[in-house]
Amino acid sequence: MQKVKPIPEDWPIQPLKKQSDAEWPARCEYCGLSWDDALCSNWVAPPSSRCPFEKFHIYRNFGSVEICLGYVVDTDNKEMVKSAMDALYEDVMNAVKHNELKDCIVVTKDSTGNLSERQIPDFLLEDEGG
């Protein structure tokens, strides 16, 4: 997945082609671009510890696609848990049987910040070309 827009040719700091071209090579952990942190510009004063290409970063909003069936249970009550598991299984089987499972699928935005690009399955990334 692309994490940075193309850097304009007139941007005061350009990505390095080789790390050895820099006096103080630095690399952004987010976008993967490298630059010479010894160079100064209106955008970044050396050494900055900030990516001079931050303005061009592409940020993603992560979330999950889930089946929204479930029951609240007392987890200490094993009989209640088993009954809920059995009922949930039946609910899923009935939803499939009656072609209603799509009604149970929801998209949930990540409000915790715990989801990341690494958790996206490869088969979903193929549609993005990489």
Q: What is the pLDDT of residues 79-106, one digit of tens each?
A: 999 999 999 999 999 999 999 999 899 9
The whole-angstrom separation of Cα 65 and Cα 11 is: 39
Q: Residue 18's domain spans which residues?
A: 1-59
Based on the fold, state whether residues 74 and 33 are members of the same structural domain.
no
What is the pLDDT at residue 130?
A: 44
List pLDDT tens digits, range 13-37: 889 988 787 888 888 888 899 988 8
Based on the fold, state whether residues 45 and 93 are members of the same structural domain.
no
85 vs 2, more confident: 85
Give the 3-state secondary structure percentages of the chain, helix then strand then coil, rounded to 5: 30, 15, 55
Of 59, 75, 109, at which residue does a domain stop? 59
pTM of the model: 0.49
CA distances from 83 to 37, 69, 96, 104 (A): 61, 14, 20, 20
The DSSP bridge partners found for residue 28 are none
Share the mean pLDDT of the chain: 86
